Amino acid sequence: MKIDWNRRTCARKGHVTYAPDDPRLRIRLHARTELGDIWRCLRCGDFTPGEPHGSGPASEAPLVPRGKVLRDLFVLRFLAVERALRGVFIVLVAVAVWKFSNSQDAVRRLFDEYLDVFRPVFRHFHHDLDHSPVVGSIQKAFGYRHSTLLVVAGVLLAYALIELIEAVGLWYAKRWAEYLTVVATAAFLPLEIYELTEHISWVKIATLTLNILAVLYILLTKRLFGLRGGRRKFDEERRSASLLEVEESAGVGHQA
């Protein structure tokens, strides 16, 4: 089922109407009915009653996102939510590492006590906790120095900050955020691939796949780094999606 992004957005946010000064355009966006004047929405193209939301020269009409632009905005906001959730999670991990660095001995004793309790339970299900990769990683962390753990917590906080900045920028469709997302995400792809060579899990595979698709999607659809014509082509594509400009082209063609 094909989604009508224009009508979907208008149903949620309302229509956007504009009365251009040029009578050739005005007549294409305006009509009179028994119930009063109606104006054509610049986003979905439907006529809606009431006064226009704005008026003036066609060049000053609002640039209303339509069609593919709205779909791209939906995808960017999905990525923004994913980045925000990841950023919050990393902050929590950083706080946990920082607290752990201040009480390593107490945490080690507590961990060993719980390990002794759960070891027989897991052995009953034919699972040896002493050879578990997760348990081994935790025990290895107990050997880290306090200063090392503080550096790890700081690096995690910096990474979380980048994720949260990306989230805010992507939500508002800022071009700098698209560049930051592509660069930051691509920089960590080799590390994610290396982790898969160490231990494969569906979570790691899903994360790697999502990040690769996100990089390719933003690169190509937003025409970053000069791809597919760069910023100039991107702006032209967005302007051409404006219903008012479509009407303007039709009006000029009609006059010719």
Tokens of 166: 């990306």
- Give the pTM: 0.69
Give the Å distances, CA to CA, from 248 to 24, 70, 97, 121, 129. Answer: 8, 22, 60, 75, 71
pLDDT at 252: 45
Q: Do residues 39 and 77 make contact, with C-beta atoms less than 8 angstroms apart?
A: no
Other CB atoms within 10 Å distance of the CB of residue 17: 24
pLDDT digits (tens, 9 = 90+) for 232-252: 887 776 666 566 655 654 444
- DSSP H helices in 125-174: 133-141, 146-171
Q: Which residue is listed with tokens 């955020």?
A: 177
Q: Are 166 and 80 in contact (CB under 8 A)?
A: yes
Token output for 56 = 């003036």
Q: What mean pLDDT, rounded, does the chain reach?
A: 82
- Predicted pLDDT at 49: 92
For residue 183, the surrounding DSSP H or E stretch is helix 175-198
Question: pLDDT per residue over 196-207, tens digit each?
Answer: 887 787 878 888
What pLDDT is recorded for position 111?
66
Which is higher by pLDDT, 201 or 156? 156
